[in-house]
Amino acid sequence: MVDLKAQYARIRTEVDAAVARVLASAHFIKGEDCARFEAEFAAYCGVRHAVGVANGTDALTLALRAYGIGPGDEVVTVANTFIATGEAILLNGARPVFVDVDAHTFTLDPQQLERAIGPRTKLILPVHLYGHPADMTAINAIAARHGLPVLEDAAQAHGGEQDGRRVGALGHAACFSFYPGKNLGAYGDAGMVVTDDADFAARVRQVANHGGGQDKYDNVVVGTNSRLDTLQAAILRVKLTRLDTWNAERRERVAAYDRALADVSGVRLPREHGARSAWHLYTLRCDDRDGLQKHLNARGIATAVHYPRPIHLQPAMAAAGGRPGDLPVSEQLSREVLCLPLYPELPLDALQRIADEVRAFCSTRPVAAGA
Ligand SMILES: Cc1ncc(COP(=O)(O)O)c(C=O)c1O
């Protein structure tokens, strides 16, 4: 699905120099690279503060802690996401309340949001799935009416935009993952919380660093050890300078898929709706998704299903009380979505071959209603 070796080959000299610099300094915890990457990534998002943490799951979990969310509280979110979004809520002892997604953007449907908000609701947590920003204008308007903060799960959307503002600056705060396959990926695990709110950023930093106060051994609240690794920060600093170029190269490949698949019946192609996607994944819909996946895999083409089961139906989320049929759009998407390979270095002839195989599969099948 991605070719991280090809990416490393493009930036090898700079990455190797950055790693060597950290090794020579023997500054493995915190240090200048962490502080600089936080400042550079905050500036990239267009916000004032960033707190580096160990991974995207911790970013969400610790951000929720910093909001003071705990037992008895509810967080409104989506089930059409990676499990970490729900885990972060349950790990804080709160209850996720799942709303369905919009069938076009695959993200939180603002029309369904209002009725999910109740007296226990403390926060709204939309997910910018596949790189496409959720409709933050509508979500923020509803949140403001109810006096609720909005936390973006931006793990898949580095560089996405709505109304000229980048993801990360669209809510009260945002959580990023730098898992290696992300648009901006580390060479290991890493994550970040960004916000314009200085007090909130300080609370995240506190719980991510053993609940510390001014002094290392001044432990004010129960926290944990979730620091951004210094080597990863040094590598991410190099890669951040390439992010816009890489996102543009993703966009070119999306346009190439769109051209190659435009007249293929039996698949529905992803589109942007009221926002600029970071195009983390190119996810099409097919009524015989499993057949298409088998066809492509048999021809040596990697594919992925994000996600085969909406998280309200995962046993791990049983405490939230989700049942089949609760979220019809999310449940239908889980049966139809298929992600094709998409990354900046994807050769255009390889992309054409993938598209040709999608076409070949669809030509053998009856035209699906509505496709
Ligand atoms: C939507 C979403 N949220 C959260 C996460 C968690 O990030 P991490 O894997 O860095 O813990 C991911 C990572 O895949 C994700 O896709």
Nearest CA to ligand 1 atom 12: 155
- DSSP β-ladder status, 74-78 and 95-99: parallel
- Residue 226 Cβ inside 6 Å of ligand 1? The answer reads no
Distance CA 336, CA 329 (A): 10
Torsion of Cα atoms, 230 then 200 then 110 then 164, to 10°? -60
349 CA distance to ligand 1 middle (Å): 31
352 CA distance to ligand 1 middle (Å): 30
30: left (phi over 0), alpha (psi -120 to 50) or beta: left
216 CA distance to ligand 1 middle (Å): 29
Q: Closest ligand 1 atom to the C-alpha of 156?
A: 16
- Residue 59 Cβ inside 6 Å of ligand 1? The answer reads no
Look at residues 241, 281, 183, 223 and name the one whose alpha carbon lies nearest to residue 54. Answer: 223
Distance CA 118, CA 31 (A): 44
260 CA distance to ligand 1 middle (Å): 31
Tell me the best of 53, 64, 82, 128 to mutate to test the pocket of ligand 1, counting ligand atoms within 8 Å of each CB and taking the most.
Answer: 82
Q: Is 99 helix (H, G, I), strand (E, B) or coil?
A: strand
Q: Closest ligand 1 atom to the C-alpha of 57?
A: 11
What pLDDT is recorded for position 237? Answer: 98
Q: Closest ligand 1 atom to the C-alpha of 81?
A: 1
Nearest CA to ligand 1 atom 7: 56
Where do runs of H (alpha helix) occur along 147-242? 198-208, 230-240
One-letter amino acid for residue 313 of the chain: L
Nearest CA to ligand 1 atom 10: 56
- Residue 127 Cβ inside 6 Å of ligand 1? The answer reads yes
Query: In angstroms, what CA-CA distances link 94 with 137, 163, 205?
Result: 26, 32, 21
- Residue 153 Cβ inside 6 Å of ligand 1? The answer reads yes
The contacts of residue 239 (CB under 8 Å, 6+ apart) are 11, 15, 184, 185
Q: Closest ligand 1 atom to the C-alpha of 58?
A: 11
- Residue 61 Cβ inside 6 Å of ligand 1? The answer reads no
- Residue 56 Cβ inside 6 Å of ligand 1? The answer reads yes
pTM of the model: 0.97
Distance CA 146, CA 94 (A): 19
Q: Kindly report, residue by residue over 262-305, the tens digit of the pLDDT.
A: 999 999 999 999 999 999 999 999 999 999 999 999 999 999 99
Look at residues 259, 336, 258, 341 and name the one whose alpha carbon lies nearest to residue 296. Answer: 341
What pLDDT is recorded for position 371? Answer: 45
Distance CA 171, CA 144 (A): 11
* Residues with pLDDT less than 70, the chain: 367-371
What pLDDT is recorded for position 367? Answer: 59
301 burial (CB, 10 Å; 0-12 / 13-18 / 19+) is middle
